Structure formats: C-alpha cells, structure tokens
Amino acid sequence: MKPFTTKNNIFPYILLFVQPIFMATNIIVARGGVEYVPPISLAFWRWLCVFMILFPFFYSEIYKKRKLLKKEFFKLFFLGLMGCGICGAFPFIAGMSTTMANMGIIYTSSPVFIVILSVFLFGEKIGLNRVLGLIISKTLLDKYPHEKEGAIDKKFANLVNKKTCSNIAGKLDIKKFMLLGPSHNSLQRSSDKIMGDCLEALIGAIYLDSGIKSAEKFVLNFWKEDLENSTLPLIDAKTQLQEYSLKKFKKLPTYMFYKKTGPQHKPIFKTDVQIPNSKKVIGTGTSKKNAQQNAASKLLRTLKIL
C-alpha cells in the first residue's frame, strides 16, 4: 500500500465521513425496508453494496495477498457471516416489531453478542486485565484531584505498561511459577511480556476470589513505590514527538510500517516516521510499537530535542 501524501490523503477522510453515514442509515432502512425485503436479505445486499463500493480501493492488496486469503478463507467467511448476520440482520429483524430506541440498543449491543459467541464457539476468555487499570486510574484520580487529564493519562500509561508490570512481576518472582515451552525460555522479550500478563491474571484471580477491595490492597502494596514516583511521569519518545509536532505544526507524526525481517519466533520490525519539514527516519524493534518508539527517539535526536 502506498503511503499517504498531500495528493491522496483526502481519501481516508472521505471514507471516514461516508462510512458512518452509510451505517447510520441501518436503523432507517430497518424500519422501512423490512416490509418489502426479508431482514437477512436486506443485510446481505447492504453489505454487498459496501463491498462493491470499497472493492476498487483494496483490490490490489487482496490480489497481492491472495494466497494468504485463500489459506484463511473459512475463518474470514465465518467472520463475514457473523458480521452480516449479527451486526446486520439483528437490527433489521428488530425493525419488524420494536421501537427505534430498542433497535438502537440492539444494534450497539452487537459486539457483546460477538464476544459471547467467541466464548462459546472458540473458548476465548473474557480478560480480567482491566482490573489493574480500574484500580490504578481510581488511585490516580484520588491522589491528583486537580491534575489535568493529559497528565493523568501519562501517569496511568507509565504505571500499567509492560515494563512496569514486568518489573513488579520480577519482584514477586512470578517467573519461578511459570511453565514455558522451550521456544519461550530463550526469549527475553516474550518472557517479560508473559510475566506482565501473568501478573495481570493474578490480580484478576484475586478479584474473582476475594473482590475488588482485596485486589486493590494487593495493587497498592506492590505499586506503592511507582505511585509515589508518579509525580514526575516519564514521557516516552513517541509521546514527546507527538506533542512537539502538534505544538509546532498542528499535525501528528506519520508512521509507516516499513518491513519485517528475521525468523518468525524472533522478528525485527522496521518503521519510518516523519513530521513536516523533516526527513524520514527508520526505527527498528522487536515489535511494531518498539520500532515506532525507536524511530521517534531517533527523529527527536535528529531535531536536537533529546
């Protein structure tokens, strides 16, 4: 896919404008169209119209990845069926017998139905990692009642990120209780992430077993030092570059995924970043996020901000 330039960057904005309008008409069509066309057929033809409108924009990418799409065809077909059936047909079925308000509730609840189906059909678990976020956010709001929202967000991000969770998991010696396969034992990056995930799972287990008060007590005990140091939040390179670009040019930095190299179990990602009046700078990392941080850091040094 070609990077957006000043000549073609209008298309994403047009699509962002057209798509909500098209989807917002679902309720209107559901109210008037179901008298003439069955709900399932109505959903199918509307989705087909969307596909035909967008097809010229993504045809080349589909052709390039045709082998991968063929391999994953049944999964994609099932996802499309769920989207067409649940997100599309349910509001139209509701249009036959209920009010506009109830139709809106059913339509906006479609993602919940999909999550529930994924639990029963694929055995996916509804994550409890939000317990940590809930406790930290409540603590920060109590600790800094007059702080600006932007400053609170930065403190929050520093307290719940992978690095902080991994450090606290290390203090708890969680790794001693982890059962990892041989492919994970040699990967520090993967191990750190899994340690953080295990810590969040532990907090979720405490919440399920003893309630939010016990989970809060655990978090406040082990995050005490980090919370005390949160008066001076660390600003990562990506955030710093974003603030600089917005302040000076009123535009966000542009990140473009460059390429992925290395073996599947230990990939290296390359991403370039650019702001107005600057050259493109390429960053590398073990994930796309790390590559973006590395690219932002390099650009900040080029601009003599770091």
* Residue 191 half-sphere exposure toward CB, CA atoms < 13 A: 18
In what side-by-side order are the strands of the sheet with 281-285? 254-261, 268-274, 281-285
pLDDT at 253: 92
pLDDT in tens, the chain (306 residues): 444 444 456 766 676 676 666 666 666 666 666 667 777 777 778 778 878 888 888 888 888 888 888 888 888 888 777 766 666 676 667 666 666 666 666 666 666 666 666 667 666 555 556 788 889 988 888 888 887 767 788 788 889 888 889 899 989 988 888 877 666 555 555 567 788 888 988 998 898 888 889 999 999 999 998 888 876 656 788 988 998 998 888 888 999 987 888 887 778 999 999 999 899 999 999 888 889 999 999 999 999 886
Largest CA distance in the chain: 66
Q: Amino acid identity, residue 146?
A: H
- pLDDT at position 5 is 46
Q: Pick 237-302's CATH classification: 3.40.50.2000, 3.30.300.180, 3.40.50.920, 3.30.160.20.
A: 3.30.160.20
**Beta-carbon count within 10 A of 94 CB:** 22
Q: What pLDDT score was predicted for residue 219?
A: 94
What's the confidence (pLDDT) of residue 78? 81
Q: Which CATH code of 1.10.1520.10, 1.10.8.60, 1.20.200.10, 3.60.21.10 fits the domain covering 130-231?
A: 1.10.1520.10
Neighbours of 26 (CB within 10 A): 21
At which residue do the structure tokens 């650009």 appear?
299
Would you give the distance in Å from CA 45 to the centre of its chain?
30
Predicted confidence at residue 283, as pLDDT, reads 93
Q: Nearest-CA neighbor of 291 among 269, 263, 265, 274?
A: 269
Q: Specify the pLDDT at position 270.
A: 93
Q: What is the pTM of this model?
A: 0.47
Per-domain boundaries in the chain = 10-122, 130-231, 237-302
Answer left, alpha or beta for residue 304, where phi above 0 means left and psi between -120 and 50 means alpha. left
Residue 221 has a pLDDT of: 94
Nearest to 215 by CA among 226, 225, 229, 200: 200
